[in-house]
Amino acid sequence: MNAKVWLVGAGPGDPELLTLKAVRALNQAQIVMTDDLVNPAVLEHCPQARVLAVGKRGGCRSTPQAFIHRLMLRYARQGKCVVRLKGGDPCIFGRGSEEADWLRAQGIEVELVNGITAGLAGATACDIPLTLRGVARGVTLVTAHTLDDSPLNWAALAQGGTTLVVYMGVARLLDIRDGLLAGGMPASMPVAMIENASLPQQREQFCTLGGLLHAAQTFQLRAPAILVIGEVTRQAGWHSVARHA
Ligand code: SAH
């Protein structure tokens, strides 16, 4: 394999959700740089590699993005096969394209490998179809957290008629609820909260948009979690709303 950097999606957690291409890249890697949300179990595919944890949350030290860039560049220039492993898909709220652009600007070959994104895995783990004929003609993946805290266009999201999958929303539940209600979404809209999707410790809870804060508090919702907001959520677990809304 030529010296290059692979930007690889590790999927949502379940190691069986890795792609064969991700496994092939891991098999050949000399350096593997992992994010916090990567399940360490996937590292069984690269026992030969030196593994560097460069995640940004969790412990008390964070790894600045510029440092990660320089580290990838250094190893690639040494001719090492580098795998940059990211939770879910590298380009869904994962900065994969930023890293790829930067490396390519330095003359480094980059290959991106898809991973199953958390929203997709979480919905499937709860038997929620994100699109459904006659119910939801689309799905919108949205982050509740932005670099500059700029407000989302909640009205457009509320009225778009697509299923909403909200990432990084645990600390923003009030904004999400109030924004969508003000945008015209009914308080009765069903919501699924899915924590640690696809992992053995997965937990899920169902509620309504109006009851979101209370339900999250009672359930003690913790990151990493996604919210699936939309009529499709009625396909799974809707019976439990009476107890938790
Ligand atoms: N690139 C990742 C997303 C990274 S942003 C992907 O495609 O999945 C981090 C956010 O992803 C978390 O705050 C959470 O909202 C979501 N997330 C990641 N892994 C998750 C999991 N196993 N279960 C639920 N949500 C998860």
Q: Please tell me the least confidently modeled range out of 52-56, 65-69, 176-180, 209-213.
A: 52-56
Element (H, E) at 142: strand 139-143
pLDDT, position 218: 97
What residues flank ligand 1, with Cβ below 6 Å?
12-13, 37, 86-89, 92-94, 117-118, 122, 167-168, 194, 196-199, 223-226
Q: Please tell me the least confidently modeled range out of 75-84, 137-146, 230-239.
A: 230-239
pLDDT, position 245: 43
Catalytic one among 14, 33, 35, 89?
35
Give the SS3 label for residue 227: strand
Catalytic one among 4, 21, 36, 56?
56
Query: CATH 3.30.470.20: does it fit domain 4-113?
Result: no
* 56 in catalytic set: yes
5-21: string of b/e by CB count within 10 Å (b at 16+)? bbbbbbbbbbbebbbee
The whole model's pTM is what? Answer: 0.93
pLDDT, position 62: 65
* Helices and strands of the chain, counted as H and E runs: 8, 10
Q: How confident is the model at residue 120 (pLDDT cuts 50, 70, 90)?
A: very high
Please say whether the beta carbons of 225 and 170 come within 8 A.
yes
- The answer, yes or no, to whether residue 58 has pLDDT greater than 90, is no
- What are the phi and psi torsion angles at 190 (to 5°)? -75, 145
* 189 in catalytic set: no
Please say whether the beta carbons of 33 and 15 come within 8 A.
no
Residue 164: closest CA among 233, 103, 244, 228: 228
**Same fold for the domain at 4-113 and the one at 118-244?**
no
Measured between alpha carbons, how far is residue 48 from residues 10, 39, 81, 111, 186 in Å?
18, 18, 12, 21, 53
pLDDT, position 68: 93
Residues pairing with 163 in the sheet: 139
Domain spans of the chain, in order of start: 4-113, 118-244
DSSP per-residue letters across 82-109: EEEEESB-TTSSS-HHHHHHHHHHTT--
Q: Which fold has domain 118-244?
A: 3.30.950
First to last CA, the chain: 54
pLDDT, position 130: 97
pLDDT, position 2: 56
Q: How confident is the model at residue 136 (pLDDT cuts 50, 70, 90)?
A: very high
- The answer, yes or no, to whether residue 1 has pLDDT greater than 80, is no
